[in-house]
Homo-oligomer: A and B are copies of this chain.
Amino acid sequence: MGMKRKSDSSDFEYDAVFIGGGGAGHIGALFMKSQGGKALIVDQDDHLGGKCPKNACYTHHLFYDCAVELDFSRQFAGKLWWPEFDSKVAILPIIDLFKAKREKTYGGIELGARVRGVDYILRQKAEIITPHLVRVGERKIRTKAVVVATGARPRIPSIPGTDLKGVFTHATLVEELDYEPERILVVGASKVGTPYASFFNACGCETTLMDQVPFYPFLDHEVRQYVIRGMVERGMSLFQETEVVEVLGEDRVQSVHLRKGDKDWAVDVDAVFMATGMVPNSEIVRHLGVALGPNSEIKVNGRMETNVPGIYAAGDVIGPPMEQWKARKSGITAARNILGQKSELKLGFCPDQLHSTYEICCVGLTEKQAKEQCEHASVLKLGIADARKPGVTPMAERMMIMGHLYPEKTGFQKMIYDADSGKVLGLHHVGYGAKDSFTYLAYLMEKGLTVDQLAGMTELFMDSARFIQMARLATWEKTKT
């Protein structure tokens, strides 16, 4: 083995060339280096870290944070020390702030890679000549394996007019917006479309959010209602099961022609934000006979191997879930297998999230799913749905001012469990401050979490999600004699 390893090293300059330096390629390469392997990252963009710090996670979260603070400013206007607030807020300065900080973020990520001794090449395209030979500019690089981690890009449906000025995606908005939109249509109530629409609305833009299908089919029906009502109450126009027929305008978008069933109408807008899904950037492997799925995602097994020996893929290019955790884990899994550490990526029990002006988190089953799958699925909930009980609002950290002024706007929590076994089946939260918990709750649920276990835990009052106290009520029900 020692000999073989040595021979590998002399044949190949690298154990792996990671094409794409986002969550998958960057973390995969750092991991490989930490294990004594040789890793090279090649990215055609000007930075490491991929789209997360460029126009995805960081941008979304900054805009979300602005949306919450602006929502507070509007909700609390004229109360306590809060001044009147009905002004339109400029978006361009927020983008400028984002971009100024982005350069520093890039610098920090690069420094991290340098400190850890990972090689990287930026601003150059890689071409895979064979699974063991990659061309970068004039240079040909011999490598034991290639990890394709080229990510995904926004999908623009083929609708007339989407090439007009004033039509944006999350990838172009921060680069190209050069005016202050007054009226905006967000196409796609996705995990991207929803927080952006909430942000535009909180900034004072007249905002319409629409989707071809009903909003949020993955959410529990009461959570979904709460989230949708929250957006309506904040002045957004929502259209479900509605299609864009055409985007109209001359120099710039001026209106959008919409259709729902046999009803046609136009919405006047000065900007359109497309949040209509992502397309994997898999073109780079087309000439190699690498198998692709129906959405042109690269097909991989649990070890991140494609059907072509020596070619691995990781991150968004292998399809959904297009989440940071999957990017990181799949990049590490590819690296492990290339180094001979057998490893399979198991998706397991995943928590999920969505942002409006609220943080919406869930794990496990919805009430409907639970009642279909389990004879004695029981439900406990807090918040608006429990309005019979005045004062019993899910007040918690960062919700106290809201809770004192508008208790009905403090969120909603729901626990679903099997009354027979005590197993926790689903946990749902609308509010703030519980998101991190869902990481641990998902892990615990995968291990068979019961309401008895939850009931015995030590909660830090006031807990954002109140699941511990709900679990106590559940165990009382269960043990009633």
Contacts from A to B (Cβ < 8 Å): 27, 30-31, 34-36, 52, 57-58, 61-62, 64-66, 68-70, 72-73, 79-81, 83, 87, 89-90, 93-94, 97-98, 100-101, 104-109, 111-112, 115, 323-325, 328, 332, 348-353, 359, 361, 389-392, 395-401, 403-405, 407, 432-444, 453, 457-465, 468-469, 472, 476-477, 479-481
The answer to whether B464 touches A443, judged by C-beta atoms less than 8 angstroms apart, is: no
Complex CA gap A391/B68 in Å reads 23
Contacts of A34 in B (CB 8 A): 476-477, 480
Question: Would A390 and B107 count as touching, CB distance under 8 A?
Answer: yes
Which listed residue, B80, B83, B437, touches A93 by the CB 8 Å rule?
A: B80
Inter-chain contacts of A395 with B (CB < 8 A): 58, 61
Report yes or no: A460 in contact with B472, Cβ–Cβ below 8 A.
Answer: no
Chain B minimum-CB-distance residue to A444: B440
Q: In whole Å, how far is A59's beta carbon from the nearest beta carbon of chain B?
A: 9
Q: Which of B36, B80, B106, B443 contacts A94 (CB 8 A)?
A: B80
Complex Cα distance A392/B107, Å?
A: 9
CA gap between A175 and B89 in the complex, in Å:
39
Docked-complex contact A404 and B62, CB < 8 angstroms: yes
Flag if A398 contacts B65 (CB, 8 Å).
yes
What is the chain B residue whose CB lies nearest that of A321? B458
Known contacts A111-B389, A435-B433, A464-B435; A97/B62 CB under 8 A:
no
CB closest chain-B residue, reference A76: B69
B461 lies within 8 A of A351 (CB): no
Q: Which of A66, A395, A404, A436 has the most CB of B within 10 A?
A: A436
Q: How far apart are the CA atoms of A399 and B432 in the complex, in Å?
A: 12
**A389 touches which one: B97, B112, B468 (CB < 8 A)?**
B112
**The one of B68, B108, B323, B459 that contacts A390, using a Cβ cutoff of 8 Å:** B108
Interface of A is mostly: helix
Known A30-B476, A439-B460, A439-B463; 10 more pairs at CB < 8 Å: A31-B476, A61-B395, A61-B396, A65-B397, A65-B400, A70-B81, A101-B407, A108-B389, A433-B436, A443-B458
Docked-complex contact A438 and B462, CB < 8 angstroms: no
Give every chain B residue within 8 A of A440 (Cβ-Cβ). Answer: 437, 440-441, 444, 457
Query: Which chain B residues border A61 with CB–CB below 8 Å?
Result: 395-397, 400, 462
**A391–B105 touching, CB < 8 Å:** yes
Of B97, B324, B438, B461, the contact of A404 (CB 8 Å cutoff): B97
Indicate if the CB atoms of B479 and A35 lie closer than 8 Å.
yes
Question: Which of A89, A453, A460 counts the most chain B CB atoms within 10 A?
Answer: A460
In the assembled complex, 13 residue pairs joining A and B whose CB atoms fall closer than 8 Å, in A order, are: A27-B472, A34-B480, A35-B481, A79-B97, A83-B83, A108-B391, A111-B390, A324-B461, A353-B460, A435-B460, A435-B464, A437-B439, A438-B460
Question: Taking the nearest CB of chain B, how far is it from the CB of A84, in angstroms?
Answer: 11
Contact assessment for B403 and A101 in the assembled complex, using a CB-CB cutoff below 8 Å:
yes
Closest CB in chain B relative to A469 CB, distance in Å: 8
Chain B neighbourhood of A459, CB < 8 A: 324-325, 439
CA distance A107 to B359 in the complex (A): 29
Which B residues touch A36, using CB under 8 A?
480-481
Specify which chain B residues have a CB less than 8 angstroms from the CB of A391 in the assembled complex. 101, 104-109, 111
Q: Tell me how far the C-beta of A436 lies from the nearest C-beta in chain B, rounded to whole angstroms.
A: 4
What residues of chain B lie closer than 8 Å to A477, measured between beta carbons?
34
Chain B residue at minimal CB-CB distance from A438: B460
Docked complex Cα distance between A458 and B435 (Å): 12
Least CB separation from A68: chain B residue: B398
Smallest distance from the beta carbon of A341 to chain B beta carbons, Å?
8
Q: Are B104 and A80 in contact (CB under 8 A)?
A: no
A351/B458 in contact, CB under 8 A: yes
What residue of chain B has the Cβ atom nearest to residue A90's Cβ? B81
A34 to B472, CA, bound (A): 11
A332 interface neighbour in B108, B403, B465, B472, Cβ under 8 Å: B472
Question: Nearest CB to that of A402 among chain B residues?
Answer: B65
Choose from B27, B69, B90, B432 the contact partner of A433 (Cβ within 8 Å).
Answer: B432
Which residues of B lie under 8 Å from residue A441 when comparing CB positions? Answer: 440
Query: What residues on B are CB-neighbors of A436 within 8 Å?
Result: 433-434, 436-437, 460, 463-465
CB neighbours of A111 from chain B (8 A)? 389-391
A-B pairs, top 5 by smallest CB distance, nearest first, are: A108-B391, A440-B440, A324-B461, A65-B400, A34-B476
